[in-house]
Amino acid sequence: MATSRQHQEAHGIGQIEDQLNDQMEAAEEIQGQSKLDREIDKAARRDSDPLKDVSK
Protein backbone atom coordinates (compact mmCIF):
# COMPACT_ATOMS: atom_id res chain seq x y z
CA MET A 1 0.00 0.00 0.00
CA ALA A 2 1.43 3.36 -0.99
CA THR A 3 2.14 5.85 1.71
CA SER A 4 1.06 9.46 1.59
CA ARG A 5 4.70 10.45 1.07
CA GLN A 6 5.04 8.10 -1.92
CA HIS A 7 1.86 9.52 -3.40
CA GLN A 8 3.13 13.08 -2.96
CA GLU A 9 6.48 12.17 -4.54
CA ALA A 10 4.78 10.52 -7.50
CA HIS A 11 2.55 13.54 -7.96
CA GLY A 12 5.59 15.85 -7.79
CA ILE A 13 7.43 13.80 -10.40
CA GLY A 14 4.39 14.01 -12.69
CA GLN A 15 4.32 17.78 -12.29
CA ILE A 16 8.04 18.01 -13.12
CA GLU A 17 7.55 15.88 -16.23
CA ASP A 18 4.67 18.10 -17.35
CA GLN A 19 6.73 21.25 -16.79
CA LEU A 20 9.73 19.87 -18.71
CA ASN A 21 7.46 18.82 -21.57
CA ASP A 22 5.93 22.31 -21.69
CA GLN A 23 9.41 23.87 -21.73
CA MET A 24 10.52 21.53 -24.52
CA GLU A 25 7.46 22.41 -26.61
CA ALA A 26 8.01 26.14 -26.05
CA ALA A 27 11.67 25.88 -27.06
CA GLU A 28 10.69 23.91 -30.16
CA GLU A 29 8.19 26.62 -31.15
CA ILE A 30 10.83 29.33 -30.73
CA GLN A 31 13.88 27.55 -32.17
CA GLY A 32 12.35 24.93 -34.41
CA GLN A 33 12.92 21.23 -34.17
CA SER A 34 16.48 19.91 -34.48
CA LYS A 35 17.43 17.45 -37.20
CA LEU A 36 17.96 14.73 -34.59
CA ASP A 37 14.51 15.35 -33.11
CA ARG A 38 12.95 15.08 -36.58
CA GLU A 39 14.78 11.79 -37.23
CA ILE A 40 13.65 10.37 -33.88
CA ASP A 41 10.03 11.39 -34.57
CA LYS A 42 10.21 9.82 -38.02
CA ALA A 43 11.63 6.56 -36.64
CA ALA A 44 9.04 6.44 -33.86
CA ARG A 45 6.18 6.85 -36.34
CA ARG A 46 7.33 4.32 -38.93
CA ASP A 47 5.66 0.95 -39.12
CA SER A 48 7.91 -1.63 -37.56
CA ASP A 49 8.24 -5.33 -38.17
CA PRO A 50 10.05 -6.78 -35.12
CA LEU A 51 11.36 -9.74 -37.13
CA LYS A 52 12.80 -7.44 -39.78
CA ASP A 53 14.51 -5.31 -37.10
CA VAL A 54 16.11 -8.40 -35.51
CA SER A 55 17.42 -9.71 -38.80
CA LYS A 56 19.41 -6.56 -39.56
Strands (E), 1-56: none
User: What are the pLDDT digits (tens) for 2-55?
Assistant: 678 888 888 888 899 999 999 989 988 898 888 888 898 888 888 766 666 666
**What residues contact residue 33 under an 8 Å CB cut-off, 6+ apart?**
41
Euclidean distance between CA atoms 30 and 56, whole angstroms: 38
Query: In degrees rounded to 5, what are phi and psi of residue 27?
Result: -65, -40
What does pTM read for this prediction?
0.49
**Residue 55: what pLDDT?**
60
Domain range list for the chain:
5-47
